[in-house]
Amino acid sequence: MKLLRCPINGPRPVSEFFYWGEMRAMPDPNVADDAQWADYVFNRNGAPGIKKEWWHHMPSGVWFVVERDTERDDVKRTYLYGQESA
């Protein structure tokens, strides 16, 4: 089973985690036009690449960011939100 390193709890089997999906920046709802908003709500970047994703360690409730090569399923690094530089 794949291992994933939770920044707080360390490496655990991926079955202990919940995958939310790729992080997407919400456009300002008051500025975005309908098309831009629909693009944000529905469209995804489905092509392989190194993506920033939201993952959640269920037993501890920790949300964190995973940078992962989705083609090789290879985790580059994980960190708490906002601590990217750390």
Partner 1 sequence: MNAPLRTSPLHSAMSKLTSQWKSINQMQVATGIGTANEEHEKLKSIALTDLSHRKRCGLKGANAEAWLKSIDIEPPAGINQWAPLGACSLIARLASSEFLLEDNVGQNYADRVRTQLGRGAPGVTPVLRQDAEIALAGPRVNELLLQTCSVNFTALDLASRPIVMTSIIGVSVLLIPGAWRGAPLYQIWCDGTYAPYLWDQLRKIAEELGGGAVGLDALFAENTQ
Partner 2 sequence: MSKRLPAVAGEWIDRNQPIEFTFEGQHYSGFAGDTISSALHAAGVHAMGRSFKHHRLRGILSMANHDINSMMQVGERLNLRADVTPIERGMNAIAINTRGGLRADRLAIMDKLSAFLPVGFYYKAFHTPKSFFPKWERTIRNASGLGEIKFDTPRIKTPKRYDFCDVLVIGAGPSGLAAAIAAADAGADVVVVDENARPGGSLTFQRGADAHVDNARWELISAVRSRRNIRLILATEAAGYYGDHWVPLVDKEKISKMRARSVIAATGAFEQPAVFRNNDLPGIMLASAAQRLIYRYGVKPFERVVVLAANTEGYRAVLDFHTQGVKVAALVDLRAQAESSEFAEKVRQAGVKLLQGYCIYEALVNRAKDHVEAVVVCPISASGNAQPGAALTIFCDGVAMSVGFTPALNLLYQAGMKARYDQRIEQFVPGELVAGVFAAGRANGIYSLQSKIRDGERAGLEAARYLGLGTPIGPVVVPAETSSPTHPYPIIDHPKGKNFVDFDEDIQVKDFVNAAQEGFDNIELMKRYTTVGMGPSQGKHSNMNAIRILAKITGKSIQEVGTTTARPFFHPAPLSHLAGRSFNPERVTPMHDRHVTLNAKLMQAGVWLRPEYYHVSGKSKDQAVSDEVRAIRQSLGLIDVGTLGKLEVYGVDAAEFLERIYTGRFANLKAGMTRYAVMCDESGVMIDDGVVARLADQQFYFTTTTTGSATVYRELTRLNTMWRLNVGIVNVTGHFAAVNLAGPHSRSALQGLADFDVSEAGFPYLGVREGHVSGIPARLMRVGFVGELGYEIHVPAEYGAALWDVLMDAGRPFGIRPFGVEAQRLLRLEKGHVIVGQDTDGLTTPFEAASSFAVKMDKPFFIGQRSLKIIQAKPLRQSLVAFVLDNSYSGATPKECHLVIDRGDMVGRVTSVAFSEALGQVIGLAYVTPELANIGAKIQIRIDGGAMVEATIVKPPFYDAEGARQKSAAIATTKAAA
Partner 3 sequence: MPYRLLRFALSSKHPEPRMFRSHDSLKSSYDVVIIGAGGHGLAAAYYFARDHGITNIAVLEKGYIGGGNTGRNTTIIRSNYLTPEGVAFYDQSVKLWQDLSAEFDLNLFYSTRGHFTLAHTDSAMRTTRWRAEVNKHLGVDSEVVYADDVQKACPQMDITCAGNAPILGALYHAPGAIARHDAVAWGYGRGADQRGVEIHQKTEVLGIDVEAGEIKGVTTNRGYISTRKVLCAVAGSTPRITQMLYIRTPLYIHPLQAMVTEPMKPWLDPIFVSGSLHVYVSQSARGELVMGASLDPYEVQNTRSTFDFVEGLASHMLDMFPFLSNAKINRQWAGLADMTPDFAPIMGKTPVKGFYLDSGWGTWGFKATPVSGKTMSYTVAKDENHELIRGFTLSRFKDFKLTGEKGAASVGH
Residues lying near partner 2 in the complex (CB under 8 A) are found at 1-3, 18, 20, 29, 32, 34, 37-38, 40-42, 54, 56, 58, 61, 63, 73, 81
Alpha carbons 32 and 25: distance in angstroms, whole number: 12
State which of positions 7-66 bind partner 1 (CB under 8 A): 8-9, 12-13, 15-16, 57-62
Q: Collapsing DSSP states into helix, strand and coil, what is residue 79? A: strand
State which of positions 9-28 bind partner 3 (CB under 8 A): 14-15, 19, 21-22
Alpha carbons 19 and 48: distance in angstroms, whole number: 16
